[in-house]
Structure 1
Amino acid sequence: MKKLLIAVLLFVCVQTSFAQTDPYIENVKHYLTINGTQEQYEGAVDAMFVMLKKQFKDYKVSDAIWKELESAKKPQVEEVKAVLVSAYKAYFTMNDIKNMTVFYESTAAKLMLADPSKLTATHRQQIGNFYDSETGQKMIVSKDGLAKIEGEISMQWSGEFYKSVIHKLAEKGYSLN
């Protein structure tokens, strides 16, 4: 499995250099923004900093240093989104990504994510219609495989990000050892 992850990461490194000219990459990254994935990663970064601040509370790390370290949030989230593109490429075509984007930009999908209790019968029907479509069926069929790859990418990414923050703190004279 590590070989797969390494292959995915190498693929992304090559693909990232073409990100500005590859519509697939840009479309997947947009999709990951609107479907809640970006928000999940931003929340994970925020939670990591809450944990780190607790771990380092006795070291009296200044707010300026925390602010500097937290400024890596946006580029780190963009990085993981770029890595996730390769996972999506294994399952979905450009047309699928466009269909998924249209769906997740709909009121029904927005309510589904934000507050499912507010879904009307019409919204439920729209959601059902999407999941009955070819793209929706692909999403259902690929759910487990995609979740597994996303989980591996997430674990690798979060571990590396955590280590980099710990390293930067150590460079500034704050070490837990």
Structure 2
Amino acid sequence: MRYIVFVLTLFLTVTASFAQRSYHEDAMRYFSLNGTEQQYDAAIDQMFTLLKQQYSAEQVPDTVWEEVKGDKKEPLNNIKSLLVSAYRSNFTHEDIKQLIGFYESETGQQMVKDRSKLSDSQKVELSDFFTSEVGQKVQNQSNSLRTMVAEVSEQWSRDLYQETVKKLKSKGYQLP
């Protein structure tokens, strides 16, 4: 009997873990498709532009900036992982899958690229999406989601900035 309980518990734990991972992976994909990742990629570039201005008197060589900047993949994955929790409280896994489906479509891709260049048929498809259950959820959750995303973004950017300043300081560069 104990063996059956153990196996059942193990099965449920693995299944729950897989479902969480799957939600997480799908949400991460959604953030790549809907322009979120590109937005934070640009934010990293803007932060380094600001830091270069702040450290201009230090004459930090480009090689040091490249080393300190490192691979943007890690901070981008960090912010996307943080955003997953905000989305998890607003959208089901099925909602995320439907959002992915929309953003994988030509209309979704065009909307991310340049919304002003949507064709008439794409505008109809976009309108249909926003009248769907998930589209309505996106619109209805936008204020609470925006607040959560703003909080997460602020914390992430503050941590990234402090971490970068710390790296520069360890290399002997100080803010004036």
Q: Please classify the TM superposition score into its range, dividing by the shorter chain length.
A: 0.7 to 0.9
Structure 2 CA distance for aligned equivalents of residues 25 and 102 of structure 1: 16
TM-score computed with the length of structure 1 as normaliser: 0.86
Distance in 1 (CA, whole Å) between partners of 2:92 and 2:128 is 19
Residue equivalent to 1:70 = 69
Partner of 1:115: helix, strand, or coil?
helix
TM-score by length of 2: 0.86
Report matched runs for 1:1-177 at 5 Å: 22-177=21-176
Q: Aligned partners of 1:92, 1:51: CA distance in 2, in Å?
A: 35
1:20 positional shift: 10
Secondary structure of the residue aligned to 2:175 is coil
Q: Please say which structure displays the higher CA radius of gyration.
A: 2
| Moved segments of 4+, more than 3 Å | 18-21
Shift of 1:31: 0.1
- Structure 1 residue 36: deviation in Å? 0.2
Larger deviation: 95-104 or 18-27? 18-27
Instruction: State the identity %.
Output: 38
- Contact (CA 8 Å) 1:84, 1:150: kept in 2 or not? yes
Give me the whole-angstrom Cα distance separating, in 2, the residues matched to 1:45 and 1:175: 20
Distance 1:142 1:121 in 2: 27
Give distance in 1, aligned partners of 2:37 and 2:46: 14
One-letter identity of the residue aligned with 1:23: S
The total of aligned residue pairs comes to 160
Q: CA deviation at 1:21?
A: 7.0
Gaps of 5+ in 2: 1-16
Q: CA deviation at 1:72?
A: 4.3
SS of the residue 1:174 aligns to: coil
Q: What is the CA deviation profile of residues 138-161 of structure 1, one whole-angstrom value per residue up to 9, with x for unaligned ones?
A: 111100100100000000100011
